[in-house]
Amino acid sequence: MEFSAKDIATLLNGEVEGNGNTKVNSISKIDQSLPDTLTFLSNPAYTKYIYTTTASIVIVNKNFKPDSILSCTLIRVEDPYIALATLLDFYVKSKPSKLGIEQPSFVSGSATLGEQIYLGAFAYIGEKVVIGKNVKIYPHVYIGDNVKVGDDTILYSGVKVYSDCAIGKSCIIHSGAVIGADGFGFAPNAGEAFTKIEQIGNVIIGNNVEIGANTTIDRATMGSTFIRDGVKLDNLIQIAHNVDLGENTVMAAQAGVAGSTSIGKNCLFGGQAAISGHISIGDESKIGPQSGVMSTLKPNSVVLGTPANDFKATMKSYSIIRNLPQLREDVIQLQKKIKTIETNE
């Protein structure tokens, strides 16, 4: 498919600078661009590439001022990154959509399937499952008894949803994710094997949630584990039983949250962040990568390190740690001077 600069600008509510009839048929990165493609400039660190790019159209910020003549057509927008997201969404939705039920697959006679769904081969739909409209369930997906899946949700190949869980509308769950496995609950017995605590709750996932590949979300011991509206989880994340994950919170890969922790709205978690159980993380908090949070955080906290501490204080500590070899050498030299003075007295 080909699109002109004028067409793209109309879609993005942008302004064309250059030849509005310039056409592109694909998208490329600005530092690896190709002719007849569209690219974008969002990060200032990549500005140098706009002067050498072979891309035909570049999306830039409205305030961008080039230092020399450009060979490409520009589309000026408020936010190039958001504009790219809009364009990619349009591209994906313009592709042909899968529909129908492939065989072999199993659908319980008590299940309810919405209109315009796609059910891939070897999928399993359990008893009393309710599937909404326009849902896409790819091959080898398992959906247990009494599960609810909202309209326009996508479950990619290999997703497993245990019984009694609920998934909202317009969610995307990537391959290998497991929703509703047992929480890690065992009662210690003195000198004997642990006794398993049965996990009889479920997982409730809100609307517009995206869950990455091989991420696991455990069912509650009792009640529900909550993933609220707008949450975005990267690959390889562990969410334990009875966690309540607030709206529009984002977690990078390999983060882990222990049981019964409550996390507020609009929080950001770096990769490999580890959160202890039975604590609270306030709204708008930012947790740095590899941080170990062991106690409750107030709203708008910004922490780093293990154990996690205020970001600025932690950076000062790291600065001191980097200077420790020189400090050690200085102390050794001072000790030698003191011994020399003492010997000469």
pLDDT on residue 269: 98
pLDDT on residue 105: 97
* Below-50 pLDDT ranges, the chain: none
pLDDT on residue 319: 87
Positions marked active-site: 241
For the chain, the domains span: 3-94, 100-313, 319-344
User: Contact 230/248 with Cβ under 8 angstroms?
Assistant: yes
CA distance 159 to 173: 7
Rounded to two decimals, the pTM is 0.88
pLDDT on residue 91: 84
Phi first, then psi, for residue 199 (nearest 5°) are -100, 105
Q: Report whether CATH 2.60.120.380 matches the domain 3-94.
A: no
User: Contact 160/173 with Cβ under 8 angstroms?
Assistant: no
State the DSSP code for 56. Answer: S
CA distance 157 to 21: 41
State both tokens at 162: 């245990």
- Domain made up of 100-313: CATH architecture: 3 Solenoid (2.160)
pLDDT on residue 268: 98
pLDDT on residue 209: 98
CA distance 133 to 210: 18
- Burial, 331: exposed, middle or buried (Cβ in 10 Å; 0-12, 13-18, 19+)? exposed
CA distance 79 to 82: 5
pLDDT on residue 92: 84
Helix axes 311-322 and 324-344, enclosed angle (nearest 10): 50
pLDDT on residue 237: 98
pLDDT on residue 99: 94
